[in-house]
Amino acid sequence: MMTPYGSAHLMMLGCTILFYIAGCIVCRKSCRLVQNIIFIVITILCCSGIFFRYAMSLKFDFSNINWTTLFTQMLQVCNFNFILLPLMLVPRFELARQYGMFFSMFAAMTAHTSVSSSFRNLEWYNITVLNSWLNHMFAVALPMFMIAARRTKPKLNFVLLVAICVFGYFTGVAIISHFLIEGGMLIPENSFSFIYDRGQTAGFDLFYKIWPKDYFYLWLIFPFLIIYFYILAIAFKKYKVYIY
């Protein structure tokens, strides 16, 4: 059964770390063509996994695709950021790469350390658990492997811009969620928005306890995010990259 830091959780976490290490080594030693293939495959797997989970309800049935559920699930922090991964494959779209390294990777990593409430009492091999875990794993792998391949790195001059983009994303989702609920299309309990459904994520729950106001509790996250962004950028300040 999947319980926080139980045997199944630690097993999956250990296998994931080994996957990251092996992938970084392979990408570091591979030619650019092989690196590009790895990046593209990871991106397709991640985006396809999200589509399979929310548009197809984890069933191999293309005749019953639910676009409404897919759209509303994009209001969750990770899902929306994951579908931006293809933009990281565009060499000159530096903002997408910086956003992916600073925030998308960070957001995805949280799923490895805090077991979702939807996983409780499920076996590790349950399709719900595997799909979600792999989606998050690939979302972390793409920016991590690109850094290992020296194709990009976190940059100091993008820290504030990425923070502004994240704030804009949070605010945009808040507005969309509000109008969908006001219009009767959703209710807070099934809005799928991080504003109402924190998924029992440790960080979100903690901040909500400190400031129990929907949306506004997210403001408490930004000082920590910006500090993390700066530490990450400083750590890679002298790291040489070869984008083209």
Tens of pLDDT, residues 49-107: 999 988 998 888 888 888 888 888 887 777 777 888 999 998 888 999 999 999 988 88
pLDDT at 144: 95
Reading the block at residue 193, the tokens are 């928005």
Query: Could you read off the pLDDT of 163-193 as tens digits, one per residue?
Result: 999 999 889 888 888 888 888 887 777 776 7
- Residue 120 pairs in a beta bridge with 2
Residue 244 pLDDT exceeds 70: no
Q: Are 82 and 104 in contact (CB under 8 A)?
A: yes
pLDDT at 201: 64
Q: Would you place residue 162 in the very low, low, confident or very high pLDDT band (cuts 50, 70, 90)?
A: very high
Q: Looking at residues 192-211, what average pLDDT do you find?
A: 74
Burial of 237 (0-12, 13-18, 19+ CB in 10 A): exposed
Q: Would you place residue 155 in the very low, low, confident or very high pLDDT band (cuts 50, 70, 90)?
A: very high
Please tell me whether the overall predicted TM-score, pTM, comes out greater than 0.85 for this model: yes
pLDDT at 200: 60
Mention every residue, 6+ apart, whose C-beta is less than 8 A from residue 54: 66, 69, 70, 73, 79
Q: Would you place residue 202 in the very low, low, confident or very high pLDDT band (cuts 50, 70, 90)?
A: low
Task: Give the distance from CA 137 to its chain's centroid.
Answer: 9
Q: Would you place residue 199 in the very low, low, confident or very high pLDDT band (cuts 50, 70, 90)?
A: low
Q: Which residue has the higher pLDDT, 194 or 216?
A: 216
Cα 54 from Cα 170, distance rounded (Å): 21
In the chain, what's the furthest Cα-to-Cα distance? Answer: 54
Q: Looking at residues 15-35, what average pLDDT do you find?
A: 96
pLDDT at 206: 81
Mention every residue, 6+ apart, whose C-beta is less than 8 A from residue 74: 80, 83
Query: Could you read off the pLDDT of 111-125 as tens digits, one per residue?
Result: 888 777 777 778 889
Q: Looking at residues 208-226, what average pLDDT do you find?
A: 88
pLDDT at 71: 84
